[in-house]
Chains A and B, each alone.
Chain A
Amino acid sequence: MAHDPLLPSGPAALLQRAIETLRARLLPLAVEKPDHDAALAALRALAIAQAELASDPAIVGRELAEIEALLGRTFEGDAGAARRTLAQAIRARSLPSDGPTDVRLRDYLLKATANRLRLTNPKYMTRRKRRAESSY
């Protein structure tokens, strides 16, 4: 059940201010490499938590609908159960092995992965697209 945030700007904005403050005041003091690496890791973790808090809740619903269409059944809003059942079906190779299902499954996997990657490492996809590697 959703509740009113403690602050009008919400928890993601609170985290953003914390990140900015730590970056400005604490990071410059972490001179030794282990300290600097640890501080960067903590800042990155805060940024990921912030992105997850701010993510569009409708995405989960869309992913659930795609899994339900692939498996031909409903999961009553339980996205975790849907992902688990999909993983089991893939392992058991029980999904129809026709071309359209294969394409829909791959599209779902790519979209779901991209949605999560946008939260954890948004630069990763753009770097991959921009850089000239030999084939990919």
Chain B
Amino acid sequence: MLPRGSVKALSDFVRAAAQAERAEIAVERALPGDAVRAHYLMTADISGGSLAGRHALVLRGQAEDRTLASAEEFAVRQAAFGAGLTTPEPLWLEPNGDVLDKPFMVLRHATGTADAAELQRDLPVEEGDRLAYRLGQELALLHRIGIEGAPAEIAFLARPEADWAQRRAAEWRAALDGIATPQPCFEWAINWFADHAPAIEYFALCHRDLRLGNVVAEGERLAGILDLDEAGWSDPMEDLGWFCARGARRGLPEREAGGIGSREALYDGYKDAAGRDVDDRRVRFWEIAAAIRQGIAALQRAARPAGDAEQGLGAMLTGLQSIEAEYDLLLEIEHFMAEAT
């Protein structure tokens, strides 16, 4: 929990940011699922100004190992929220670490559960399909933000180069250089990725980490899409591939859309909102890319120093999941190539 002095500083920050006469913050609890940053649910009692009243808010601190820093993620969230994405409204940013020891943002709280296991357990097939359909619609909405004519606040996002696939392959190879054990399977899959990456005609703003765990829902009702700190310009089909990747389905691989609904429901939602068909083959390509990315991330997690024995055990077991990603890669690349002949 935040120390008492920090809560007072936070109240002062909210009062100033909300242009209120008075603001009192009560930190309710730490939010689960994110061990690498401060992440708290809090109640704000605000007097005066346009936000007078009681609000459930989330304080989201900066994590060190993500693509986007807090200020960048905040800008992406503003652009996405402005485009109509169902995501908690971003309210205020503290970019300098002057109030707490690190930068943070304050968001409205989305009511529901982000517990992937709970969502999977409680959603019957039909409701899961309806949630997958909604998520397809949401991705189509996000992907309307194209690289050309993008909002000024996200102009900082790196524009992909013509050799984007080679660059991504080079990043993965550099990551493997930091792993102590040789990884011939990932090396082979990275070569395959670089050799088979499609040309991208339309670069859209992509979430790049949409999966259960980053979705808040109450039953089939979508309450919010979370965590845009991996966002960037990419092929829109990458988001669908990431969501459908086998490693994202957790214990329900037969529910091919994120372990929650059918692939068809996700595609239908996307198609209905985007007004164009989903390119299934391209989604399958990105599922293979997702397995490479997930597998390397698992190896990296195992290689990082752990805080205590329990965290160390968790990191080791996560590292071993890279073997499942390898197995997926080998079978899925074989299938992908067989489909082409």
Binding site for B on A (CB under 8 A): 38, 41-42, 44-45, 48, 80, 83-84, 86-88, 90-91, 93, 105-106, 109-110, 112-114, 116-117, 120-121, 124-125, 127-128, 131-136
Contact = CB atoms under 8 A, between A and B. Distances in A.
The 4 residue pairs across chains A and B that have the minimum distance between CB atoms: A87-B182, A84-B182, A90-B187, A87-B184
A41 B87 CA distance: 33
B339 to A, nearest CB: 8
Interface residues of B, number: 32
A106 B184 CA distance: 10
A114 B188 CA distance: 16
A93 B188 contact: no
Contacts of A121: 320, 323-324
A125 B327 contact: yes
B326 interface: yes
A125 B332 CA distance: 13
A134 B256 contact: yes
Contacts of A41: 310, 313-314, 317
Contacts of B323: 113, 116-117, 120-121
B337 to A, nearest CB: 10
Main DSSP-derived SS at the A contact region: helix
Interface in B224-271: 246, 253-254, 256, 263
A93 B191 contact: yes
A93 B187 CA distance: 10
Interface in B256-288: 256, 263, 284
Given A113-B185, A136-B335, 20 more contacts: A38-B313, A42-B313, A45-B317, A48-B320, A83-B182, A87-B183, A87-B187, A91-B191, A106-B188, A106-B330, A109-B188, A109-B330, A112-B184, A117-B327, A120-B324, A121-B320, A124-B327, A131-B253, A133-B256, A135-B335
A88 to B, nearest CB: 8
Contact of B191 (A80, A84, A90, A125): A90
B320 A105 contact: no
A94 B256 CA distance: 37
A73 to B, nearest CB: 16
Contacts of A90: 184, 187-188, 191
Contacts of B199: none
Name which of B184, B191, B310 has the most chain A CB atoms within 10 A of its CB: B184
Contacts of A114: 327
A106 B185 CA distance: 9
A111 to B, nearest CB: 10
A95 B182 CA distance: 17
Nearest to B338: A135
Contacts of A136: 246, 331-332, 335
B113 to A, nearest CB: 13
A129 to B, nearest CB: 10
Nearest to A84: B182
Contacts of B30: none
A113 B322 CA distance: 10
Contacts of B183: 87
A124 B251 CA distance: 11
Contacts of A86: 182, 184
A45 B249 CA distance: 22
A78 to B, nearest CB: 12
Contacts of B181: 83
